[in-house]
A = this chain, B = another copy of it.
Amino acid sequence: MKKITIGEAARKSGVKVPTIRYYEGIGLLREPSRSDGNQRSYEPSDLNRLTFIRHARELGFEVEAIRALLSLQDNPLQSCASADAIAKARLVEVEQRIRSLMALKAELEMMVEGCGHGRVDQCRVIEVLADHAECRHHGH
């Protein structure tokens, strides 16, 4: 039961101090007990939860999705179908975003390769932006 300060929790979890307080404010993290001097005092389980949140945020889950995932984690006997659904939805989003970024990449490469490094009025970059019809990738 070695309790730690918010700064230590931040160092160990990789979540910044104001962000930890923010998570508490929006109810992702329980209110920890306090020291005599009113300073937050965290337990190891809080650290696990913080790490869970950080990892989920890194995977791009929105706070509301994380809230749902955390409540699943808190009730380990129920079906994991919702967790699966949340992860699958996120996977679909990520796949779409990758496809769209690949199209952008192609278009940007076209622009950059076409730039003759001369004057703006001959510049492909500006030209392509100005006239969308120039673009081979209309997916966006």
Contact = CB atoms under 8 A, between A and B. Distances in A.
A82 B103 CA distance: 23
Given A98-B101, A126-B69, A87 B59 contact: no
A81 B125 CA distance: 10
A105 B95 contact: yes
Contacts of A111: 87
A97 interface: yes
How many copies of this chain does the complex contain? Answer: 2
A108 interface: yes
Decide if the interface of chain A is mainly helix, strand, loop or mixed: helix
A61 to B, nearest CB: 9
A43 interface: no
Interface in A55-89: 55-56, 58-60, 69, 72-73, 75-81, 83-84, 86-88
14 contacts: A55-B128, A56-B129, A59-B104, A59-B140, A73-B120, A79-B118, A80-B116, A80-B119, A84-B112, A84-B117, A88-B112, A91-B109, A95-B105, A101-B101
Interface string A31-53: 00000000000000000100110
Contacts of A98: 98, 101-102, 105
